[in-house]
């Protein structure tokens, strides 16, 4: 944040990084500049006057020679390289009358970092799998105990390791390995979750390999699968990679995958697909990390209950049928190769336990990663996605539920919805008089569609400017060609086709808004219901933790404005990132977490919204922007009133 940019006539100052584009700086500051082409300089609308300081670039054929000489630049092409004073041309006096009521500056959630050094300081950095180098006494006529006995006795007497076991596959290898290493070997030991459990010797290698101990963490999302390689000596992430879950071609959401799994070979196919993707990711990340497959000692995997059961090839049929029963919530450790994961025979797979059919291992992993189960503050944990998972609680108790939000936030059920890849409209502002938009796309490319965080902001801005009402219906009386009826459906055109990559106008439609409202309504009302069931109110929440793919991009003000998040100081909102992956990572690094996870799972009370009578009432009330009950959102209410007066 080296440079300060002052926008005139608003007198708003933001701090931005070197080389940030001026249009992003404006969006950050809550300043509207008409802009349609996604930052490619072709629409020529984002003309600004550089009054002090210098920018890099900013010139295109859309700017006349004269304007250039006066100091005009296109904001989308200008890179900030020094402190600046920038004037936004105002088209009418009305514009300036709203100087002090423009939207507050953009707030995204603080990112929560997990700190390995902290784990180390707390004595918690004890990976569940440890390597110990052993210099055994060679066998002699006087001491010809069995090879396995020799190893176990050495560990017992020289390293104080007790309750050791070894499985048959490893016993098979021991005689040759022990001699290959001339009685110098490295033992890999898997620690039990319970302190009185067995320590399993999972591998024996010749010579000293104790400094080569790696783990893989995998989050199996319904949509995407992510993997990381971790160095268990340092706790560092050595590489990571994500791919779409190729089960998608058999069904976009959980229910359609379960239905597919119920067909002949369906379960086998979905199982194979996810294993293939995991193996592709492993291939890439171990190559990037420059490690050998056999050096990976554990792989921790988390997913929702359906993803977990498909991974493990367990019929998920009863998850979708009343009364929604998963096969199991805990799974024993097993050898990764047993389910076809392309790692060595000795690599142990650890599956994150879940709570119920719709609160799976992914959310438990996130909760473990967030540390909320150790906190005193009443925390709302929300994993935003097609299947939104919500947990509320602190160190003494925890309740959780899942809300079927639908795919609106992930680009589904939205006419021009897409995932947050290049060309997706991710940020948006609207001129409250002309209703001309300002857009920012991922990668500053011409627009292709709208991603989840874009949808939230667009909806909030349309609401604030009165383009839509609290039911998500367009104000048909506004004087702008952007609000129009196509094929009998009302819509607002965000980008005209000449400025898109798709040669079609990109618009947001009433059905899109309907889907979005249902999605946010499902999540908010689930949180409200949970709170009510335990006798608390929405404003008792002291902290919000967001997880999920796009949580870091969400403009918190917008999310509150549409009623997705309860009204809270944005400072109290933290973004965890991929909570599931982070939970897997921490699980790989510390056995302490593995011990806690059972406690947390047992502590968590699950509510099925479908069988909680008050849920439907809350849901109906939440099908408004922000909510029927505006008293839940006093600040939003005040702001909307001020903006529209």
Q: Which part of the chain contacts a second copy (CB under 8 A), choosing from 29-37, 61-69, 518-526, 605-613? A: 605-613
Q: Does 168 bind a second copy (CB under 8 A)?
A: yes
- Under rule CB under 8 A, residue 42 binds a second copy: no
> Does the protein bind a second copy through residue 1 (CB under 8 A)?
no
- β-strand 334-335 against 348-351: which pairing, if any? antiparallel
According to DSSP, the residues that pair with 228 across neighbouring strands are: 217, 240
Which residue in 166, 193, 259, 592 binds a second copy (CB under 8 A)? 166
Listing DSSP states for 1-29 in one string gives --EEEEEETTTEEEEE-TT-BHHHHHHHH
Residues 101-140 that bind a second copy (CB under 8 A): 139-140
Task: Give the burial class of 180: count Cβ atoms within 10 A of its Cβ; 0-12 exposed, 13-18 middle, 19 or more buried.
Answer: middle
Terminal CA-CA length for the chain = 36
Tell whether residue 284 is a contact of a second copy (CB under 8 A). Answer: no
Among 3, 78, 357, 386, interactor with a second copy by CB under 8 A = 357
Distance of CA 160 to the CA centre of its chain: 42
Q: What is the dihedral of CA 314, 320, 323, 327, to 10 degrees?
A: 10
Q: Provide, rounded to whole angstroms, the least separation between the CB of residue 593 and a second copy.
A: 20
196 part of the interface to a second copy, by CB under 8 A: yes
Contacts of residue 479, defined as CB under 8 A and 6 or more positions apart, other chains included, come to none
Distance of closest approach, residue 181 Cβ to a second copy, in angstroms: 14
List the one residue out of 133, 168, 130, 128 whose CA is nearest residue 151. 133
Nearer to a second copy, 214 or 607 (CB): 607
Structure token pair of residue 399: 């309740």
Does 167 sit near a second copy (CB under 8 A)? yes
User: Which of 312, 414 has the CB closer to a second copy?
Assistant: 312
- Residue 171 vs 255, nearer CB to a second copy: 171
Q: Tell me the chain's radius of gyration from C-alpha atoms.
A: 28
Judged by CB, which is closer to a second copy: 162, or 537? 162
Q: Does 146 bind a second copy (CB under 8 A)?
A: yes
Distance in Å, CB of 175 to a second copy, minimum: 5
Question: SS3 for 465-491, per residue?
Answer: CCCECCCCCECCCCCCCCEEEECCEEE
Site string for a second copy, 304-343 (x = CB under 8 A): --------xxxx-xx---xxxxxxxxxxx-x---xx----
Of the pair 317, 628, the CB lying nearest a second copy is at 317
User: For residues 466 and 640, what is the distance between their CA atoms, to the nearest angstrom?
Assistant: 9
Q: How many residues bind a second copy (CB under 8 A)?
A: 49
Which neighbouring-strand residues pair with 201? 166, 189
Shortest distance (Å) from residue 316 CB to a second copy: 9
Residue whose CB is less far from a second copy, 310 or 414: 310
CB nearer to a second copy: pick between 72 and 607 = 607
Say if residues 343 and 553 touch (Cβ distance below 8 Å): no
Q: Which residues bind a second copy (CB under 8 A)?
A: 139-149, 165-168, 171-172, 174-176, 179, 196-198, 312-315, 317-318, 322-332, 334, 338-339, 356-357, 608, 610-611
């Amino acid at each position: 944040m080296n440079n300060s940019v002052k926008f005139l006539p608003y007198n708003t100052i933001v701090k931005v990084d070197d080389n940030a584009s001026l249009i992003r700086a404006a969006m950050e500051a809550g300043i509207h500049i008409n802009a349609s082409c996604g930052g490619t300089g072709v629409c020529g609308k984002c003309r600004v006057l550089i009054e002090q300081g210098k920018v890099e670039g900013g010139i295109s054929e859309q700017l006349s020679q004269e304007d250039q000489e006066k100091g005009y630049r296109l904001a989308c092409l200008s890179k900030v390289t020094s402190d600046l004073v920038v004037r936004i041309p105002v088209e009418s006096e009305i514009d300036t009358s709203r100087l002090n009521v423009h939207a507050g500056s953009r707030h995204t959630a603080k990112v929560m970092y997990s700190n390995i050094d902290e784990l180390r300081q707390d004595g918690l950095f004890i990976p569940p799998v440890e390597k110990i180098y052993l210099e055994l006494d060679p066998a002699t006529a006087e001491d010809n105990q069995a090879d396995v006995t020799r190893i176990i006795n050495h560990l017992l007497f020289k390293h104080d390791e007790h309750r050791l076991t070894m499985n048959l596959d490893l016993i098979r290898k021991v005689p040759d390995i022990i001699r290959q290493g001339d009685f110098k070997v490295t033992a890999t030991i898997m620690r039990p979750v319970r302190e009185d459990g067995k320590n399993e010797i999972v591998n024996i290698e010749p010579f000293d390999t104790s400094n080569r101990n790696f783990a893989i963490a995998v989050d199996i999302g319904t949509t995407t699968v992510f993997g990381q390689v971790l160095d268990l000596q340092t706790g560092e992430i050595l590489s990571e990679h994500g791919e779409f879950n190729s089960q998608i071609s058999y069904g976009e959401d959980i229910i359609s995958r379960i239905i597919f799994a119920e067909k002949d070979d369906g379960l086998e196919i979905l199982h194979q697909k996810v294993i293939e993707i995991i193996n592709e990711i492993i291939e890439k990340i171990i190559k990037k990390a420059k490690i050998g497959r056999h050096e990976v000692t554990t792989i921790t995997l988390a997913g929702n209950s359906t993803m977990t059961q498909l991974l493990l090839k367990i019929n998920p049929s009863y998850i979708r049928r009343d009364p929604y029963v998963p096969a199991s919530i805990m799974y024993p450790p097993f050898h990764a190769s047993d389910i076809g994961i392309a790692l060595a025979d000795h690599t142990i797979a650890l599956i994150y336990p879940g709570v119920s059919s719709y609160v799976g291992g992914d959310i438990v992993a996130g909760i473990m990663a967030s540390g909320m189960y150790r906190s005193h503050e009443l925390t709302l944990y929300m994993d935003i996605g097609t299947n939104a998972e919500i947990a509320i609680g602190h160190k003494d108790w925890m309740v959780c539920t899942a809300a079927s939000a639908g795919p609106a936030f992930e680009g589904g059920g939205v006419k021009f919805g897409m995932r947050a890849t290049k060309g997706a409209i991710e940020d948006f502002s609207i001129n409250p008089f002309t209703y001309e938009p300002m857009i920012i796309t991922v990668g500053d490319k011409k627009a292709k569609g709208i991603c989840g965080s874009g949808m939230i902001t667009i909806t909030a801005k349309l609401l604030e400017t009165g383009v839509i009402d609290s039911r998500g219906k367009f104000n048909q009386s506004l004087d702008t060609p952007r609000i129009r009826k196509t094929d009998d459906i009302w819509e607002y055109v965000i980008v005209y086709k000449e400025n898109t990559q798709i040669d079609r106008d990109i618009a947001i439609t009433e059905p899109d808004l309907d889907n979005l409202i249902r999605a946010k309504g499902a999540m908010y009302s689930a949180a409200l219901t949970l709170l009510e069931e335990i006798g608390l109110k929405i404003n008792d929440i002291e902290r919000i933790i967001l997880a999920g793919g796009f949580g870091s991009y969400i403009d918190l003000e917008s999310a509150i404005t549409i009623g997705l998040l309860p009204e809270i100081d944005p400072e109290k909102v933290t973004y965890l990132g991929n909570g599931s992956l982070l939970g897997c990572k921490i699980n790989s690094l510390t056995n302490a977490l593995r011990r806690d996870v059972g406690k947390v799972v047992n502590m968590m009370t699950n509510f099925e919204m479908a069988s909680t009578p008050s849920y439907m009432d809350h849901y109906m009330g939440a099908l408004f922007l922000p909510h029927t009950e505006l008293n839940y959102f006093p600040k939003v209410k005040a702001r909307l009133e001020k903006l529209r007066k």
